[in-house]
Amino acid sequence: MSWLWPFGPARRDPSSPQTAAADPALRAHFLQFLDYVEPPRFFKPSEVAQMLTPAELANLGFEDWREALLGVRVIGWEYREFGDCEVLVYDRSGAKGKGKEGEAEPEGKWVVLDEGISWMEVQGGVRFRRTRTALDGDDWD
């Protein structure tokens, strides 16, 4: 039956972000970054999603890694709830001006997101990193 879908595994219906977050492959890739990226460094959801193989993407019903980004966010929020992960957002509130086209972005910094904010409320980029408790009390702020 390979003639029905000659380009790799048959595509399933696309998964919802919550279903994608429950996928063992996506979760394993997230945990790999969480384990190996040493704070204060952080990682992007896109780095996790790009680790998915074509077979893993097909298993989720996705054709492209970008479709898995919301699932990565759901996983990040879940580990934040457990206290293992921090979610960071870019704060430009201290910026002295707006960057013009072709210029560097205004000064700002990545800050830890308040715990009461869900993954659906955040617009723009996020980053993830392990929490202090995972580091035996090392101070890296």
Which DSSP string do the residues of 32-71 spell out, in sequence order?
HHHHHS-TT--B-HHHHHTT--HHHHHHHT-SSGGGGHHH
What pLDDT sits at residue 6?
A: 56
What pLDDT sits at residue 82?
A: 94
What pLDDT sits at residue 105?
A: 56
Residue 10, pLDDT above cutoff 50 = yes
Residue 3, pLDDT above cutoff 60 = no
pLDDT range class, residue 135, cuts 50, 70, 90: low
Q: What is the pTM of this model?
A: 0.78
Which of 1.10.10.10, 3.40.50.300, 2.40.70.10, 2.40.110.10 is the CATH number of 16-132?
1.10.10.10
d(CA 83, CA 77): 10
The pLDDT tens digits of the residues spanning 82-98 come to: 999 999 999 988 665 55
d(CA 29, CA 32): 5
Q: What are the extents of the domains in the chain?
A: 16-132
The pLDDT tens digits of the residues spanning 24-79 come to: 999 999 999 999 999 999 999 999 999 999 999 999 999 999 999 999 999 999 99
d(CA 132, CA 106): 28
Q: Residues with Cβ < 8 Å from 123, sequence gap 6 or more?
A: none
